[in-house]
Amino acid sequence: MNILFVCPVFPPEIVPSSVMLDQLTRHLGLTGHKVTMITCFPSLPGGKIFKGYRRRFWKITDTQTLRLIRCFSFTVGTKRKRVWRALSHISFGLVAALRLLFEKKPDVIVADMVPVISSPFIVFLAKLLGIPVVNYIQDLFPEAVASAGMIRRQGVAMRIALMIDALTCRAAGANIVISESFRRALLNSRGVPDNKIFVLHNWIDGSEIRPTSRLNLWRAQAGIPRDKFVAMFAGTLGIVSGAEVLVDVAQELKTSELHDVLILSVGEGVLKEPMIRRSESLGLDNILFLPFQPAAMLSEMQSTADVFLLTMDKSHVNSSVPSKLVTYLAMGRPIICATDENSAVAETVAQAKCGHVVPPGDAKAIASQILNLKKSNSERAFFGASGRSYFQEYYDMPAAMKRFELLLSQLSTMQQMPKTRGSTVESLLNAEKEDRKTSSTIES
């Protein structure tokens, strides 16, 4: 197949979407497909173009497995103002659509872009050109924007944005969503046909990200004492993360006079500096902030954790699924999730039997569960093993690659998608198997 991807992020940026698409495009290229990626010049998470890159209207680089086209877009800037974020995505959508007109017609397009303000440019142009397109949805938009207070949920802007997103999703040949709750949102609020929605969880490479000893070289180099019980938050400290509650959790633990529990935050983001200042003003020595670590050290770094913390802002619990959840599952450690009990994250934790769910922003509840898990070696072992097993079944990279490739193959040849209620990529695989059985019967 000739497959064209469009996504605003790609390595050397290390955000989850870029890492996954790098893995996917490599896999497809190595298995004989012709793969093209249209993306931006790298600027995230800092908001400035990386050293060694000079922004042009577009630049083409050919590698063994990939044709890489970097296109002009505005950058979000170091202050990450909302207007520049919007302009960044709008400009990328426009320039990427223009570049598509210069490309040899692909068999299928995968658009992993911000809905409403970016992806429609590609989806509608592809439909006009007669190219099947997969709308790859990582976040619900405009719900996420409404949750951030940028638009009113019952306002005109919300209705217009939902209408645009509904038209985009219906125009796509297929929509990949990362959770069942997202699938329900497309069905109920966008009116997207069920046979156009496929659930494919985000993935990571389980052979690279795997649990090791908690007492390892990285821990020693980071200066974390052997006897500390480590509750770790690893990921972006962005507004939607709700991570500011970690300082309150540290204060709760300090009040309890337990000095062997350490809250460890590994990552960057707009909340980091305010969190550091507040923890210093409170005189807390049981919370430690470290920057993002090299990818080669990820397994050792996260293996240092005795328990993982996944926090979410109260207003965003139903509009996004933090990618850190997948990594946490892979590491075989219990997870404490501060989120709504009806959210996609809570559903996953319940299905995986990998930890506890507490209300978002509830520092006392988080601290209480940390202490409960600290006291129970057997419960930590059960949750950790159960989470790792669930990861291997649903989130490990090899299986996800095969599912994604099959979906693209089916779509590129315009075969009829399964019309069963609750479509998943598993249903597509089952349909493929049934087709093969039928063919074998006819031939015999």
pLDDT digit string (tens) for 98-152?
999 999 999 999 999 999 999 999 999 999 999 999 999 998 888 878 876 778 8
pLDDT digit string (tens) for 204-214?
899 888 999 99
Do 2-203+407-432 and 217-394 come out as alike in CATH topology?
Answer: yes
Rounded distance between C-alpha atoms, residue 334 and residue 387, angstroms? 7
Q: Give pLDDT, residue 76.
A: 80
Residue at 276: amino acid letter = I
CATH 3.40.640.10 fits 2-203+407-432, yes or no: no
Rounded distance between C-alpha atoms, residue 354 and residue 362, angstroms? 20
Residue at 323: amino acid letter = S
Pairing mode, strands 287-290 and 197-199: unpaired
Burial (CB count within 10 angstroms: exposed 0-12, middle 13-18, buried 19+), residue 158? middle
E-strand ranges in 318-399 read 335-338, 355-358
Opening angle at CA 98, ends 93 and 101, nearest 5: 130
Nearest to 309 by CA among 382, 386, 229: 229
Residue at 82: amino acid letter = R
Residues 6+ apart with CB under 8 A from 340: 314, 317, 318, 346, 359, 360
Pair of tokens at residue 414: 């315009």
Pairing mode, strands 229-234 and 261-266: parallel
Q: Which CATH class is domain 217-394?
A: alpha beta
Cβ(405)–Cβ(339) below 8 Å: no
- Ranges of residues in the chain whose predicted pLDDT is under 50: 415-416, 420-422, 431-444
Q: Give pLDDT, residue 420.
A: 46
Q: Give pLDDT, residue 339.
A: 95
- Separate counts of helices (H) and strands (E) for the chain: 16, 14
Q: Give pLDDT, residue 424.
A: 52
pLDDT digit string (tens) for 338-388?
999 988 899 999 999 999 999 999 999 999 999 999 999 999 999 999 999
Q: What share of the chain is helix, strand, coil (3-state, %, to 5)?
A: 45, 15, 40
Q: Give pLDDT, residue 435.
A: 44
Rounded distance between C-alpha atoms, residue 148 and residue 277, angstroms? 24
Rounded distance between C-alpha atoms, residue 125 and residue 226, angstroms? 57
Name the residue ranges covered by the structural domains of the chain.
2-203+407-432, 217-394
